[in-house]
Amino acid sequence: MRIPAVAAPLFIVSCPDLVIAQCKAGIIGSFPALNARDEPGGPVLLEIWLKKITEELDRHNQANPDRPAAPFAVNQIVHRSNDRLERDVEICAKWKVPVWITSMGARVEVNDAAHSCGGIALHDVINNTYAKKAVGKGADGRIAVAAGAGGHGGPQSPFALVREIREWFDGPLLLAGAVSTGEARLAARVLGADFGYVGSPFVATNEANADPVYKEMMVKAAAEDVLTSSLFTGHPANYLKGSLTRVGLDPDNLPPDWDVSVMPDDGPLPKAWREIWGAGQGIGAIKSVGPAAAGDVMDLGISDRVRPLIEQVRQMVEEEIAPLDIEFHHEVGGHPSGDRFQHTPRQLEILETLKTKAKERGLWNFWLTDSERGFGLSTVEYAYLAEEMGKVGIAAEVFNCNAPDTGNMEVLERYGSQVHKERWLKPLLEGTIRSAYLMSEPDVASSDATNIALSAACDGDDWILNGEKWWATGAGDPRCRLYIVMASTDPSAHKHSRHSMFLVPSDSDGIEVLRPMQVFGADDAPHGHMHIRFTDVRVPAEDLVLGEGQGFEVAQGRLGPGRIHHCMRAIGQAEMALELLCKRAMNRQAFGRKLTDLGANYDIIADARMEIEMARLLCLKAAWMMDTRGTRAAQPWISKIKVVAPLMALKIVDEAMQVHGAAGISQDFPLAAMWTHLRTLRFADGPDAVHRRQVARTELRKYTND
């Protein structure tokens, strides 16, 4: 366990997907055995659930030996009314469930079954008397269910309940009752509990088996929206007032006697277990519906899994790639034909030799974080590698982690058909071809993706593309075989449904490369940024990605991770610039003194180090948001880093140039090329102004109801 918490078993809500997510996040996940309801004549669902959870956690642990999942728990209702208890206990013992939670009584035979398979037994109690009754029943630990807990919560203050139990019991003790945040879990430990017992926050998760209305109600509610009543089950329990109102009841004027538990499913009144929803008083801490792993513990550190990869990549970049990078760029334009967009034999030799070494060492395709074809790294883990690869121009390509190919491969992996994957994704993953992403256009403000105007008209089984694209990065490379093209398929549709994405071979009839776009007078050969015209380019319908009108969705899914990669590479460039600055300042003299001792260079160096560290942390936060809460929740953070990282790196490169003097803007140092790239990055994947607008809108949204 990485987090001192146990997820409470939630009736109906807890399911295998939720338990697996909880355990992977580092807390004990649990579910009530009774949630696994068999269909008449169907298989035993509890067996299926336990098999799924056990096997998935085993796979996770094998792949992540440095971050194993927490164990899981099954809750048994040991009351005599549970006619499934004997069968369920036998099944749980068979699957060697590691943690058993018993409710509504303590039974020796259930605790013995837990111990027989190597498990431990935890018993939930609402007062000290019940806690003591379990002494002779074999329970290993107690769950103190205090006031404020969801469902059948106890009446006592956690301060009183924990103190009374701790006076005589020194075994594992959990505390339930509004333990919804990290601060609350810390407070529970201060009181004397070993773990927090957390329930309500997990209702509002993607994995929870809860009505979407229930989830949203949890997000909007606060402690005052929770009602305690014995009406529905005969025992005091906490419910959401909103769920009572929703089924026609007045929370402030409940009937004196109404047993909904015996009402038929098709009757006029709701069943308590189905439509009247429980909640604890800690629901005010729930701010959104998201993945169960999106807790308040943010791990941005270097994992044991990625640490050796970082060292290998760093060593290869420094010792093998950096020396050849200089030679590679000096070769540009040296092809016998004079074509700057043709690689010389020596350039190809450099690239292929280094790529072969990377493949042989297993340093390949780190970026593909969510596929069996990749390394399975998290975005945070990959971010550290991207920083190292950003330090030298051709490094990312050596490891097959270079833009725009990474984003294009992600599109193919997520949305491509099997034919697309075989034709395009496979050679891209092998590094034998390159690709380009065509979105920006010369005649519209392309920072607003809904403006894209290159047309695609349906003609039988084909689409016909007409229009122009420019700044098609990578399209100049002679190895570029695929264009991913965003086109307008229905200008009259909603702005986010007007566009579609197409896979277009770069040698298709009707495609004309008009010119290479120059960046501060340089053509970036042999990679290039091309201006391309499409004239009646025919594309088969099967090469439409995801579906008509889905282009905006594809574009957003592609650009999110790519922006994080760009920004971490920018941090790598800032690190390289600072290194060059420091070495130059230490080894050069003017006016009889080292450059470090002149002007404000100490301040410049100190500021550079601090700004790099701040930008890195912001980038890692964005990566963590992507990993734990998904693209939508991460978007404001990605916008922040897209502004901050290039600006920070530009400033440091500029200071390094200044310390180098005129040499800093010459071909003898990489600083000029770094500055050019970073200045371009303030436009690529959205200009600063667009991202600032996103950040501001997110901030202002907090105050819309004031």
197 and 218: one domain?
no
Instruction: Answer yes or no: is pLDDT of 375 > 80.
Output: no
Instruction: Assess if residue 428 is contained within a domain.
Output: no
Considering the domain boundaries, does residue 293 fall inside one?
Answer: no
| 95 shares a domain with 44 | yes
Distance CA 666, CA 670 (A): 8
pLDDT exceeds cutoff 80 at 337: yes
- Residues 194 and 260 occupy one common structural domain: no
Q: Which residues of 470-494 are buried (b: 16+ CB within 10 A; e: fewer)?
A: bbbbbbbbebbbbbbbbbbbeeeee
Question: What CATH number is given to the structural domain containing 592?
Answer: 1.20.140.10
Establish if 328 belongs to a structural domain: yes
Does the pLDDT value for residue 110 go beyond 50? yes
Tell me the torsion sign for CA atoms 65, 382, 577, 645: negative
Of 485, 512, 545, the position where a domain reaches its end is 545
Query: For 432, what's the count of Cα atoms within 13 Å in the CB-facing half-sphere?
Result: 6
Are 402 and 307 within one domain?
yes
| Non-local CB neighbours of 617 within 8 Å, separated by 6+ positions | 300
Tell me: pLDDT of 206 over 90: no
Q: How much is the pLDDT for 705?
A: 63
- Cβ neighbors of 413 (< 8 A, separation 6 or more) are 368, 371, 373, 421, 425
**CB-facing half-sphere around the CA of 706: CA atoms within 13 A:** 5
In angstroms, the CA 686 to CA 37 distance is: 50
Q: Rounded to 5 degrees, what angle do the CA atoms 44, 202, 81 make? A: 45
Total number of residues shown for the chain: 706
Domain with 379 in it: what CATH number? Answer: 1.10.540.10
Give residue 268's pLDDT: 43
- Please report the pLDDT score of residue 258 as a whole number: 57
> Considering the entire predicted model, what is its pTM?
0.63
Q: What is the mean pLDDT of residues 350-368?
A: 94
Share of the chain residues as helix, strand and coil, in percent rounded to the nearest 5: 45, 15, 40
Of 177, 202, 227, which residue constitutes the final position of a domain? 202
Q: Are residues 13 and 159 in the same domain?
A: yes
Phi, psi of 28 (to 5 degrees): -70, 120
Residue 556: is it exposed, middle or buried by C-beta count within 10 angstroms (0-12/13-18/19+)?
middle
Do 339 and 487 lie in one domain? The reply is no
Place of tokens 């300042």: 585
Q: Is residue 366 domain-shared with residue 493, that is, in the same domain?
A: no
Report yes or no on 221 lying in a domain. Answer: yes
Q: pLDDT digits over 32-65, tens only?
A: 999 999 888 888 999 999 999 999 999 888 888 8
Domain that holds residue 535: 435-545
Give, in order, the Cα–Cα distances in Å from 587 to each of 220, 592, 599, 636, 659: 61, 12, 16, 42, 11
Give the bridge partners for 539, in sequence order: 463
Task: Convert the pLDDT of each residue in 315-334 to its tens digit.
Answer: 999 999 999 999 999 999 89
**Which pLDDT value is given to residue 271?**
54
* Residue 634 shares a structural domain with residue 670: yes
Give the end of a domain, one of 176, 202, 228.
202
Neighbours of 629 (CB within 10 A): 17
66 three-state secondary structure? coil
Res. 265: pLDDT tops 60 = no
> How high is the pLDDT of residue 369?
62
Confidence (pLDDT) at 184: 84
User: What is the total count of domains within the chain?
Assistant: 5
pLDDT, residue 557, reads 75
Q: Domain containing 528 — which CATH number?
A: 2.40.110.10
pLDDT at 262: 42
- Please state, in angstroms and rounded to a whole number, the distance separating the CA atoms of residues 238 and 246: 16
Question: Which range is most confident: 239-248, 307-316, 561-570?
Answer: 307-316
CB-hemisphere CA count at 13 Å for 263?
Answer: 17
From 179-183, 227-231, 693-697, 701-705, the region with the lowest mean pLDDT = 701-705
Sign of CA dihedral 240, 243, 245, 248: negative
CB distance 408 to 435 below 8 Å: yes
Residue 267 has what pLDDT?
44
Q: 348 and 257 in one domain?
A: no
Q: What is the pLDDT of residues 576-623, one digit of tens each?
A: 999 999 999 999 988 989 998 888 999 999 999 999 999 999 999 999
pLDDT, mean of residues 650-669: 95
Query: What's the CATH code of the domain at 156?
Result: 3.20.20.70
Residue in this structure with the two tokens 């009374």, named with its chain if needed? 164
% of residues, the chain, pLDDT over 90: 66
**118 within domain boundaries:** yes
Please tell me whether residues 342 and 466 are part of one structural domain.
no
Average pLDDT over residues 308-313: 96
Residue predicted with more confidence, 556 or 204: 204
Whether 139 is covered by a domain: the verdict is yes
* 170 lies in the same domain as 235: no
Q: How far apart are CA 252 and CA 225, in angstroms?
A: 11
- The verdict on residue 585 lying in a domain is yes
**Per-residue pLDDT band at 2 (split at 50, 70, 90):** low
Asked if 588 and 610 sit in the same domain, the reply is yes
Tokens of 467: 């229009």
Region of 234 (left: φ > 0; alpha: ψ -120 to 50; beta: rest) is: left
Q: Does the residue 605 lie in any domain? A: yes
